[in-house]
Chains A and B, each alone.
Chain A
Amino acid sequence: MKRTAALALFSGGIALYCLVPFVWFVLTSLKSGTELTAIPPILLPSFHLSFYRSALENYGLLHYIANSIIVAASATMVTVAVGSLAAYAIARFQSKWTHFYLLLLLAISMFPQIAIAGPVWTILDRLQWLNTYQGLVAAYVALCLPLATWILATFFRDVPVEIEEAALIDGCSRLQALYKVVLPLAAPGILTAALLVFIYAWNEFFFALIIMTDPNVQTLPVGIALFPGEYTMPWGEIAAASTIATLPLILLTLIFQRGIVRGLSAGAVKG
């Protein structure tokens, strides 16, 4: 009894801590114009959808979301694909090269991204990939590869070698062994890495700001940064846009939450 009560109390506290700020913002998005700036603030809104309408119609929100989905999904798929290859090498062909490569990746991931934004822009410019999906995706892939590779490598290492060796004896190439044996067994790891990359690409702001200046391809964080007028701060629309922006991620995390926890579980401790 005491245990249940304590658990309930703590769970409630945790839920409040995690949700209250966000729920407050969501409630804000449902207020009417005058309720928004009421002093003192009003807790419960009257469920106006005017801000949502405004965010969607006047600010083109859906368009930004579509771009974000394209960029984040592509970045995820490419990172997982490329990262799997490297992770497989690190997990299976343990040599001084793979050892060195893992350390290199970790060191690279520590460099402040803002500082390399400039050179990355220049490279994309030379490739004529500015204002294109592939340009931003390529930049995100490079930024996410260290963490993704690291997680994937730890998972692959946990896959028993015997099954793979059986497949190899049966005549599979290394690549086939990777795709047919290792990947299915390492699914939690792939899920974790995929979600991490997706969330990163979905959230990223500064690179998107300077690389995507054409409104056709701008992603959501940049779109939201365009909401403020020169001398106005449309809190209502921003709250509405933020709610819509976050819902897909929340849904994703809800669906995959078991997978994620299992994912980091095996990865973090087994090293």
Chain B
Amino acid sequence: MFIARAIPFMLALVLALVHGVFVGVAYAQTTELRFVTWRSEAPEVWNQGIADFERQNPGVKVIREIGPQSSTQLHDLLTQKLKNRDPRLDVFVMDVIWPAEFGSAGWTLPLDRYFSKSEQQGFLDAPIAANRYRGSIFGVPLFIDAGLLYYRKDLLTKYRVAPPRTWTELVDAAKKILTAANDPQLIGYSGQFKQYEGLICNMMEFILGNGGKLWDEVAMVSALEQPAARAAVRFVRDRIIGEVSHRGVLAYEEPESLALFTEGRAIFHRNWPYAWAVANDSERSKVAGRVGRAPLPGFSPAQGAAALGGWQIGVSRYSLQPELAWRFAAFMTGANMQKRIALATGRAPTRRALYDDPEIDKKMPQLKSLLETFKQAAPRPVTPVYAPLSNIMQRYFSSVLALHNTDIDKRASFAGRDMNRVLDLLRDRSTP
């Protein structure tokens, strides 16, 4: 009986060993470059690109480890390797809010030696700024995102409403259309208000649009208790969610909020640039061709703010082949790859020159008009302690929006106090 039970076990063990040996033998004669990333929406482009790189660098094999799309899950996975100085990680993708954290922790290789200031000039300013910390550059921007306003062109035309230039105009326009259309399924505004990182992007667009800030970068203290910030938050709770949206948005991330818009159930919608292609795809959207896009409004005209998003490529400080890793990072963010990715996925490139490229212009004619928005996109606090700050802010915003009759001023001061306690940790350091 023992033998009978041992056989399957031995079989499993043998299978595992064979698998391991196979894998080992296959890669024995090549240099491996390990790249942790999420799965792209255009796998052919990435596969092709990687094949090209391997051809240009004979003897090199790029091994991709695919992680989840969820930024938090990918973060968990990456930090686990990096904090243990795993040498089998060479290159990885970084969310726009990670470079300062990873750079400070000593996980990403400072790239100044390879990525000169003049080279950096070839990229848009905002993403470069997000990749810089304490004088060094820690990542190369791959593509850029910024918050935009989408709206139902047909509804605005039908009810003779102009595209709003301020948030108040937007609320009034939404109310006017809602009353006139008398459609119980229609809501005025769809955004991302779940307690997650995206909430910060949405809320900061309102706060900055009111002349407020999330933090005072120079003094390194929270700015949430300032009147402008508090007023903006109050506006979102009372007028956006209270009057023209529905409670469901408090559980929405990008997919759900976009789905509401593409089903024709929202007049206004806030999302990243990618939503344009989805909303105009007649197979996936009921409102294809009836969609307009504009920069987000502010509280006074032309004071609109857009949150900066996007992904970058970083090199691990513990990589055993930093030169090769850099070459790969440079290749993936090179003009050629960025162009291919842009054409295939609609992602906005980070290299300035590509905004004048005729092919891109032809395929994505609105891209050029977004350039201004991209140039002014506001980053979230670029600091190694962004993660705790984000959790504090998420808690604050979500509490104010989801609970009833919250005392905004009190909660703002609590959040500010918590943020300052975290920021105080940075003061221990002696100046460089």
Contact = CB atoms under 8 A, between A and B. Distances in A.
Nearest to A226: B68
Contact of B12 (A73, A180, A216, A228): A73
Contacts of B352: none
A99 B39 CA distance: 51
Contact of A213 (B5, B65, B70): B65
A77 B5 contact: yes
A25 interface: no
Interface string B1-35: 11001001100110110011001000000000000
B217 to A, nearest CB: 29
A177 B254 CA distance: 62
Contacts of B80: 118, 121, 210
A228 B254 contact: no
17 contacts: A39-B263, A70-B12, A70-B15, A73-B12, A74-B16, A132-B20, A134-B16, A179-B1, A180-B1, A184-B1, A210-B77, A214-B65, A215-B66, A225-B68, A228-B68, A231-B275, A231-B278
A213 B36 contact: yes
Interface string B235-271: 0000000000000000000111011000100000000
A70 B256 CA distance: 36
Nearest to A73: B12
Interface string A21-40: 00000000000000001010
Interface string B78-118: 00110010100000000000000000000000000000000
B372 interface: no
Interface in A36-74: 37, 39, 70, 73-74
Which 5 A-B pairs have CB atoms at the shortest separation, nearest pair first? A77-B9, A133-B16, A213-B65, A233-B255, A231-B254
Nearest to B265: A39
A209 B76 contact: yes
Given A121-B80, A132-B20, A183 B1 contact: yes
B157 interface: no
Interface in B60-76: 63-70, 73, 76
A125 interface: yes
Interface string A71-89: 0011001100100000000
A183 to B, nearest CB: 7
A66 B419 CA distance: 47
Contact of B23 (A180, A184, A210, A216): A216
A122 interface: yes
A170 interface: no
Contacts of B123: none
Interface string A124-138: 010000101110000
A271 interface: no
A contact residues, range: 20 to 34
B38 interface: yes
A4 interface: no
A24 to B, nearest CB: 19
A229 interface: yes
Nearest to B5: A77
A173 interface: no
A118 B13 CA distance: 26
A228 B70 contact: yes
Contact of A215 (B12, B65, B259): B65
Contacts of A133: 12, 16, 19
Contacts of B36: 213
Contacts of B23: 216
B41 interface: yes
A252 to B, nearest CB: 15
Interface string B39-69: 1010000000000000000000001111111
A162 interface: no
Contacts of B19: 133, 216
Nearest to A179: B2
Given A37-B259, A73-B8, A132-B20, 16 more contacts: A39-B263, A70-B16, A78-B9, A133-B19, A134-B16, A179-B1, A210-B80, A213-B36, A213-B65, A213-B81, A215-B64, A226-B68, A230-B69, A231-B254, A231-B275, A232-B255
